[in-house]
Amino acid sequence: MWKIRIDEDQPLLGTLGESNSQLCTFTRQTTCETMAPSCPSQKNHNMLTALFDLLAISLYLIAGILLVRRLFNIPTTVGSELYIKWAVLSLAAGAATLHGALLYSTLWVSDGLNLGLNSAASLMAWAIVVLFLIIAVFKAVENLGVIILPTAALAVLLAWLWPGQHLLLPQVSAVLLSHLVVAFLAYSLLALALVQALVLWWQERRLHQQHSGRALRTMPPIQTMEKFLFGLIGTGFVLLTLTLISGTLFSEAIFGKPLIISHHIVLSLIGWGIFAILLFGHWRFGWRGRHAVRWTVGGFALLLLGYFGSKFVLEILLNR
């Protein structure tokens, strides 16, 4: 049986919340004092977090469903088409705002920076959505949201159900934050390139099969899609290069320990090499189409395996 004890003078171990200088603690009627699962302020916080999670997931899914309906049911007027586009972007922006608030409360913990597996995946999904929204304002790329928005909803769900915790460093420096921002921007841009490559592959395949459905008529020409794809790859490659250089040369200043050659670094370097070859092949030999799609998928798969694969092994399999 649990009972509540309010002590206005002396804070006790296991304090979870504070209101009007009263500290809420729980003790058990046994010889051992154990902290109870929650106190009222913690319950309110959990309920608010759950509400934000549900709203963010719902808005992401609603925006994705609207995009699917738009792909297969073309509006009859330009005005209605623009209305649907901005409705989708508004819903996605609302979801991203809630998503960002959730990340702020879960990433920054009292003991340091929490970059557990699902928290990191949720952060990357949020960065991808934000970049997608910014680009969609200026370019007709909102159809990429058919893949991006449901994926972001899944990332929010996983971070909610299995939050986990992995403290990167007790004290977060400006150098570390700069490194992380550049790294996540690089991964997010290359993830957008992956989605663009998959959409481009599907578009080319449908055209070769002479299927001119409604979905195809809502997409830009293939030349425009390819130009956008290599713009994403080029920008992401530059940021990935900066990430690898900073992580290699300033490892001790960023992470507090010398550089250790691990499978994460090896896979990242191989992924970087694949994108370098793709960009050179596009510039020198005019690689495009299926070549671009295959190299993009291969390069990003290695980057994803290098970062999230290593985190999965350490946190899930080895429980470290």
pTM: 0.80
Element (H, E) at 60: helix 40-72
CA proximity to 176, closest of 124, 122, 113, 239: 113
- Indicate the burial class of 163 (C-beta count within 10 angstroms; 0-12, 13-18, 19 or more): middle
pLDDT in tens for each of the 320 residues of the chain? 444 343 444 443 333 333 333 333 333 333 333 344 456 666 776 888 999 999 999 999 999 999 988 887 755 455 577 788 899 999 999 999 999 999 998 887 776 777 888 888 999 999 999 999 999 999 888 889 999 999 999 999 999 988 766 655 666 677 778 888 999 999 999 999 999 999 998 888 887 776 666 667 778 888 889 999 999 999 999 999 999 998 887 676 656 666 677 788 899 999 999 999 999 999 999 998 888 999 999 999 999 998 887 777 666 666 66
Instruction: Measure the CA–CA gap between 180 and 174, rounded to whole angstroms.
Output: 10
Q: Are 102 and 108 in contact (CB under 8 A)?
A: no
